Amino acid sequence: MDFMQEAIKEANRALELNEVPVGVVIVKDNKILARAHNLKESEKDVTCHAELLAIRQASKMIDNWRLSGCSMYVTLEPCPMCAGAIIQSRISSLYIGTFNTSCGACGSVLNLIHNPNLNSFVNVKWLYNDICSNILEEFFKLKRPN
């Protein structure tokens, strides 16, 4: 199964709700444990980014906050809040679909994931995918027509 494609399906669900289109799946033993899309505007809550919703769901599924052995596939580079949650949850691998040039915390604006002081063991892999960036570009073009 192409897990980034599954994350993109989630991003499309966010788009249908007029949310910034970001999607996530969390995978363990080659199976999807949790899937989520950005719901910040719908829920009127900044903590409803796709990554945090998926972490909450995955923790519930395995009845443990430690998500070691899990991989997260996310269409957009996580922000500091989400990168911080990813580090704390001990997610093992993070696959990212595109850069976040406004607040990406895995290297674009700052780098929390590889900060030697934060005790992070997340293995980051960039899976550049045009769909992940195009869906965002189109969204913002419609939002800001001029």
Residue 48 is labelled as binding a ligand: no
Residue type at 31?
K
How far, CA to CA in Å, does 63 sit from each of 4, 94, 104, 121, 145? 25, 21, 29, 21, 45
Residue with smaller CB distance to its own copies, 11 or 87:
87
* Residue 131 Cβ vs its own copies, minimum distance, rounded to whole Å: 25
Residues that bind its own copies (CB under 8 A): 40-41, 43-47, 52, 55-56, 59-60, 63-65, 79-85, 87-89, 102-103, 105, 109-110, 112, 115, 117-119
Per the structure block, which two tokens stand in for 60? Answer: 């519930």
Catalytic residue among 10, 19, 51, 77: 51
Residue 79 is labelled as binding a ligand: yes
Residue 49 is labelled as binding a ligand: yes
The three-state secondary structure class of 24 is strand
* Residue 1 Cβ vs its own copies, minimum distance, rounded to whole Å: 26
Can 51 be counted among the known catalytic residues?
yes
DSSP of 66-104: --TT-EEEESS---HHHHHHHHHHT-SEEEE-S--TTT-
Residue with smaller CB distance to its own copies, 30 or 117:
117
Residue with smaller CB distance to its own copies, 31 or 44:
44
Query: Taking a C-beta distance cutoff of 8 angstroms, is the pair 24, 36 a contact?
Result: yes
Residue numbers belonging to the annotated binding site for Zn(2+):
49, 79, 82
- Which residues are catalytic, by number? 51
